[in-house]
Structure formats: structure tokens, C-alpha cells
Structure 1
């Protein structure tokens, strides 16, 4: 897992909202990266629906949200459409992004860890936490990053 103060690895990948290039946000937006284990699973659905419900608050704090897991775009589109996610879900099928961010595997090889990173406008990790932090905690962090 990357630590606060580390430079965030840049990547470009396909998502439910088209190609995402992290570099385009550096200097312009704060970035909330949510590494979640699986599409349409109970905890992941709860986590991303909580983000969906407060997405306008995150946008008002000058942040973008990006969800990432190894599922393909077909799975991501179905999941996103079913629950009305306005933020992109990235397909990390080759696990390159997960590995760059130090996101490990759980249950042997089945699922990636659940980790949330917040990247400041300078491209530095400003927040790193395993698990499913409350959206209020994420909002507090993004609101306190210049």
C-alpha cells in the first residue's frame, strides 16, 4: 500500500466513461481512487452507492472519483448502470494499476483489497486507507486539501 506523501503513479485506462488519463487531472482536481474487490457484491455496492449519494458534494470540493477493479467493461457498465454511478469505473484486467498502487490480493488470488486513496492537485497521495471509510471522512479530507 502506498503511503501519504508518495507521488501517485500515473496511468491511462478504459472506463465506463471513456479513456481516463490520470495526468489530465493533476494540477486541476483532487482525485479519489477507490480500489474495490468486485462489481455487484454487497459491500462494494454499499460503498459505491454511498459515494453516488454524496457525489455532488465531492464534486463541489473539486474532486473526481474513480473506481477500479479487474472486472471487464461489460461488468462495470452493467454495475454502473444498475446503480446509477456518475463516476467512472476502470477496467484493470492486467492488474497494472492495482500493482502500481500496492493494492494486494485477499483470499489468496480471488479479490483485490479494498483501499481508498485521495490524491492532491500536485499528484501526491494525501490519504490512504484500507477498508470502507465513510464518505463524510473522505469529504473532510478533500475539503481540507488546498
Structure 2
């Protein structure tokens, strides 16, 4: 997916068993979709907890943060509860959304660490690919602030 392209419509089940539909937030919120390899691994836990700790900053910018990987909703719920998360974790079983966004799985199995930031109109304004968790958060916040200035 390239900068300026429109977010594909998607619906995925979250850690609570609810369906998250992208169209519900279109024209209302910025989207920060961050893909991470696995629940409960050290680097992924660090990234998810950093998003949790800075979620109020995203809320102030009128953005919704969503964590995504291919693991089950029950794994996500355990991870969510253990780390007292404050945003949904979506299960992309089968990698449908990953494929729509052009994400290529590592070793054919793991979801890579990538973040997509979409503006309220649903257009991609930032795509971050890095193994450094805090880079995703900083760049996502900067992209939203820059978009709001225009």
C-alpha cells in the first residue's frame, strides 16, 4: 500500500469477541493500525505497552489505535488483560487484512512489525516499517500532527 491510497474496508473480530468495522470510524477518526508478530514476546509486549501508555495522546489527536496480528481472539484477550490495554486487539486469522495492505509475512508465518496511519478520510498518510517499537509511535503521532496542520 502506498501513501495516498485509501484504507480497504475491513471487519475483524477483536479480543472481546466484537466485530471491529473500519467503516464505523471513517470520516470520524484517524486510524493507527499497528501490526506486531506475537502476543507475549518481549519486544511486542514493549511496543503494545508503549501504545497503551501513550493512547491518551492519540485520543487527543482524534485517533483510534488498533493492534493486529494473526493470533486468536482468546490469546489477544489474555494479553489485553495481563497488560491492562486500552485499545482493541484484532485477530487477522488467515491474513486477509495483511494481504489487502500488502504486508508480507516473515518466514511465511509471522506478521511483521508495520504501522499504517490513515487520515479521517481514510487515506494513508504514513507507513512505518521498523523493528524499533518506539519509532512507530513517534512517527504515527508526527504524521497525524502534520496532517492536522494542513
Partner of 1:139: 141
Q: Which runs of 4+ in 1 moved over 3 A?
A: none
Cross-structure match for 1:79: 79
| 1:19 positional shift | 1.2
Give the number of the structure whose residues are more often strand, by fraction: 1
- Distance in 2 (CA, whole Å) between partners of 1:117 and 1:9 is 12
Structure with greater helix share of residues: 2
Q: CA RMSD in A?
A: 1.1
Aligned to 1:10: 9
Report Cα offsets for 1:80-123 as digits up to 9, x if no partner: 111111100001112101111111111x2231111000000111
* TM-score relative to the length of structure 1: 0.94
Paired with 1:134 and 1:7, the residues of 2 have a C-alpha distance of 20
Query: What is the deviation of 1:73?
Result: 0.5
Equivalent-residue separation in structure 1 for 2:27 and 2:136 (angstroms)? 26
